[in-house]
Structure 1
């Protein structure tokens, strides 16, 4: 058993990480932004004792010393999984709403752990494919993206719009983590998890149909008819995806496995298109056929030729066997149906 601090426990990915940590017998303290979030998580894990699951309120991860108190809790922590970082584009101030929470939140917890929690030996941070992808290079048919790649975005470019702000926030935050490791020589190792678009079942007690994680909103909008008249030119962004349960497994295995230390992990199951998602919905959920784009719809096909991907490090070191797109879409829609029926 490992004593683990999990930040951002009410988040889409973190909720699955928490479930897996508890299943494997680890003792977890998770940070949340409000007592109401803590109460919902506690109620959902009613069998967990206070020794196996506890909570700590951190209202603002960008505040100086935000994690100073929690890292000093007893029993002492042996590992930290830091997932708390914003991912949305409903932004009016890129610096304050995207860059600061991601960068200051990451550097802040690293500093707090080094200063106050010498017992911590392993740190895992949620990053993103946004820190790998060069968003200015187009399809790059002659390039294969891997953990060796870094987004070249500048501070000036990051401030131009929310999309660039998100990409910059993930890139700068992850780089800050590796620079901290190199310059400060803390007692802990570091692993970073870099997923692209994340699909998969939601944790219904933390969600509403109006406030889903950004990636899953497209599935909601297909089955409710919002995207029925989508343009054939509609594109899925980076063209690659991963299931949230595989991302959660990557976090926990990166914490547990010796050979995962001080490495980045590009966690992607492969390529997809929005039209493939619609075909899966039409096949598995005939009740939504009238809400979906027509069978002739070809929206979201990626450009050909396009870049390649190398996810072999996740397979070899973390032992990930990727969930299929069909399984992920089906399970996600079933979770949305369960949420709707509970309202």
Structure 2
């Protein structure tokens, strides 16, 4: 019996897209711990085998989806697999090396999301709920921050904004989520929808990470601090000053699947504010052996006094979330990087 096996009745079958991703790897753990059977999608046989072998659960299998934006790419799988009860859609690239905004972000985001919803409606009548991983990028307006953000806010970016590589990701997340809600409104499928809008996400790295360069983008700043890449100059924290732990994000996805009242809702997930200076000081305190790789203690803290605030009452009340504090998240992230054997 694998590490994540539980005895008892199966909670249902879940399709999890993008299973090799950072957030998806933690969602996978939560789903298995909660007693679900999970079929995850990967872009290659090799990635699929690596996930299954690393977990060793009889309640996990994979299917290969090479291009999530391809029309009808899920249809045959919904027809040939045993019926699904739920779908969690995390498959969405996030990187800073933008070459073609449409191919890199807009197509996988919008076509990938709406194509999946269409396929579920037409081929998977047993699915009760779909949870999509959106982003705080679909909520915040970095050009003119609200004083207090909640789920009623939307980022202002439109298609043409995505042509600026600095805005491609944020725009694709906003447009993908809007497309999902529009699909629900226009198509009125048998299932309902929930969206998870997590902010910068720190937390322990996934178990199958091939290299530190393949790490999720939010964790790069923690990686760069412990590798000494900010020793001479601490990079600015802006534009985002809020974080959430990946384990809270994973738990939110699983609870959003099963809580009846979660359907039809967005959930803005934030634990607290942070700055790169605060990350460095937590690492200095908890890992004294890394102190010589960190910037000087005299570097000023760039967290603004008038930084925007956030209202996470919906996620606390409907999903029962209790957020992991910054210090624990950073310490556990650093420890997981050191334990990976990928650091000199």
TM-score of the two chains, using structure 1 as the length reference: 0.94
Note the alpha carbon deviations across 1:94-127, whole angstroms, 9 max, x for none: 1111111111110110010001001111000000
Pairing of 1:1-343 with structure 2 (within 5 A)? 1-46=11-56, 48-49=57-58, 52-137=59-144, 139-140=145-146, 143-161=147-165, 163-231=166-234, 234-299=236-301, 301-340=302-341
Equivalent position SS for 1:229: coil
Note the alpha carbon deviations across 1:304-337, whole angstroms, 9 max, x for none: 2132210110100101110111111111111101
Measure the CA separation in 2 of the matches of 1:87 and 1:62.
Answer: 15
Contact 1:204 1:335 in 2 (8 A): no
Superposed displacement of residue 74, structure 1: 3.0
Equivalent position SS for 2:62: strand
Equivalent position SS for 1:280: helix
What 5-or-longer segments of structure 1 have no aligned partner? none
Measure the CA separation in 2 of the matches of 1:103 and 1:251.
Answer: 20
Equivalent position SS for 2:212: coil
Equivalent position SS for 1:340: coil
Superposed displacement of residue 341, structure 1: 5.9
Measure the CA separation in 1 of the matches of 2:44 and 2:253.
Answer: 24
Note the alpha carbon deviations across 1:249-305, whole angstroms, 9 max, x for none: 000000011011110000110211111111100000011101000111124x22221
TM-score of the two chains, using structure 2 as the length reference: 0.94
Measure the CA separation in 2 of the matches of 1:174 and 1:294.
Answer: 41
Q: Which runs of 4+ in 1 moved over 3 A?
A: none
Superposed displacement of residue 342, structure 1: 9.2
Superposed displacement of residue 152, structure 1: 1.2
Say which is worse superposed, 9-18 or 306-315, in terms of deviation. 306-315
Measure the CA separation in 2 of the matches of 1:219 and 1:294.
Answer: 16
Contact 1:40 1:206 in 2 (8 A): no
Superposed displacement of residue 80, structure 1: 0.2
Matched length: 334
Superposed displacement of residue 62, structure 1: 1.0
Measure the CA separation in 2 of the matches of 1:220 and 1:251.
Answer: 26
Root mean square deviation, CA, Å: 1.4
Measure the CA separation in 1 of the matches of 2:243 and 2:289.
Answer: 26
Superposed displacement of residue 177, structure 1: 0.5
Measure the CA separation in 2 of the matches of 1:24 and 1:304.
Answer: 41
Contact 1:37 1:206 in 2 (8 A): no
Measure the CA separation in 2 of the matches of 1:21 and 1:166.
Answer: 27
Superposed displacement of residue 164, structure 1: 0.6
Equivalent position SS for 2:201: strand
